[in-house]
């Protein structure tokens, strides 16, 4: 419930009006959904690594709860992109292809964020092992690359819809 409230507060902070007509403002909503889902996926990765290490209640419960929010966030992002395509904007085949690509980028961004969370927890638990530090840096770079791809895909969709 707390994550849902944080998600809604984030949308209120980004979107000043409840219903907007502009493509750019709707793209910002899609971006907010994608980035919030990636943040929750990072926390899910942290809790999942803790649950794998010690099979106890708090880590397992929070991993299940955060995993549910990750799945809901992916569907929220997908719904927001579909709403853009069914709105009164001109939707060409290029815009539909850009929308599918944006959703795929968002899913990959969420998956890399969850893996980055797993690796960060590994570094935190096994800080003396250089392998975990190297893999955390690699997955941090991969997550940044997917961040850029989501941003670029959203800009491409914006240009296709206008």
Using one digit for the tens of pLDDT, what is the confidence trace for 99-110?
888 889 999 999
CB-CB contact of 52 with 66 (8 Å):
no
- Residue whose tokens read 């939707």: 91
Provide the percentage of residues in the chain whose pLDDT is more than 70.
Answer: 78
Q: What is the pLDDT of residues 42-101, one digit of tens each?
A: 889 888 887 777 777 777 888 888 888 889 888 988 888 888 777 656 667 888 888 888
* Other residues' Cβ atoms within 10 Å of the Cβ of residue 34: 29
When the pLDDT of each residue in the chain is averaged and rounded to a whole number, the result is: 78
Contacts of 106-109 with C-beta under 8 Å, sequence gap 24+, read 106/33, 106/34, 106/37, 106/74, 106/77, 106/78, 106/150, 107/74, 108/146, 108/149, 109/34, 109/38, 109/143, 109/146, 109/147, 109/149, 109/150
| Across 112-136, average pLDDT | 79
20 has pLDDT over 50: no
pLDDT value at position 161? 75
Q: What kind and span of H or E run contains 74? A: helix 57-86
């Amino acid at each position: 419930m707390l994550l849902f409230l944080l998600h809604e507060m984030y949308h209120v902070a980004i979107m000043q009006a409840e219903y907007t007509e502009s493509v750019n403002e709707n793209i910002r909503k899609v971006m907010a959904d994608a980035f919030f889902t990636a943040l929750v996926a990072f926390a899910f990765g942290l809790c999942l690594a803790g649950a794998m290490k010690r099979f106890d209640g708090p880590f397992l419960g929070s991993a299940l709860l955060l995993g549910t929010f990750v799945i809901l966030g992916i569907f929220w992002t997908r719904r927001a992109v579909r709403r853009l395509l069914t709105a009164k904007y001109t939707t060409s085949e290029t815009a539909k292809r850009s929308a599918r690509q944006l959703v795929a980028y968002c899913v990959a961004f969420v998956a890399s964020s969850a893996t980055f969370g797993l690796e960060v927890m590994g570094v935190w638990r096994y800080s003396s092992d250089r392998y975990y530090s190297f893999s955390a840096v690699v997955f941090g770079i991969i997550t940044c690359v997917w961040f850029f791809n989501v941003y670029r895909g959203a800009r491409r969709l914006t240009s296709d819809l206008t």
